[in-house]
Amino acid sequence: METTVNRVELKGYLGRDAEVRNLENGNSLISLRMATNESYKNAKGEWVTNTTWHNVSVWKKKIGEEVDLLKKGALVAVTGKLETRKYTDKLGQDRYITQVVAQGVEPVQAEK
């Protein structure tokens, strides 16, 4: 049987400050909203930039000072895996959300 891999690497800017939820079991969930950009020339030769927004979840047993660096506009590198989950909304409709479950989040110095 062939081995499969679920791995994501992103480098982008945070669209808002990190949101931290402390859970009853002692773990914490850090939620990030991150943007990545792609630029290309269209058929007219004009530069077009597409922005993609990503939901990122980070599970931690202990929150450290790194959360203070996860502010809106910060450039970060994220490694993790894709996860899709299903939930039922208030109207009883099934909804799906795809997110990155991060194993690592590192601040990055912007290139000059």
Q: Is residue 2 part of a domain?
A: no
Q: How many domains does the chain have?
A: 1
Residue 105 is predicted with a pLDDT of: 92
Residue 110 is predicted with a pLDDT of: 67
Q: Is residue 92 part of a domain?
A: yes
Query: Contact 97/85 with Cβ under 8 angstroms?
Result: yes
Q: Is residue 1 part of a domain?
A: no
* Phi, psi angle pair for 9, to nearest 5°: -130, 120
74-89: pLDDT as tens digits: 999 999 999 999 999 9
Residue numbers in the chain where pLDDT is lower than 50: none
Residue 69: strand, helix, or coil: helix
Q: Is residue 112 part of a domain?
A: no
Domain that holds residue 77: 8-107
Query: Contact 69/107 with Cβ under 8 angstroms?
Result: yes
Contacts (Cβ under 8 Å, ≥6 apart) of 27: 59, 60, 61
CATH number at residue 90: 2.40.50.140
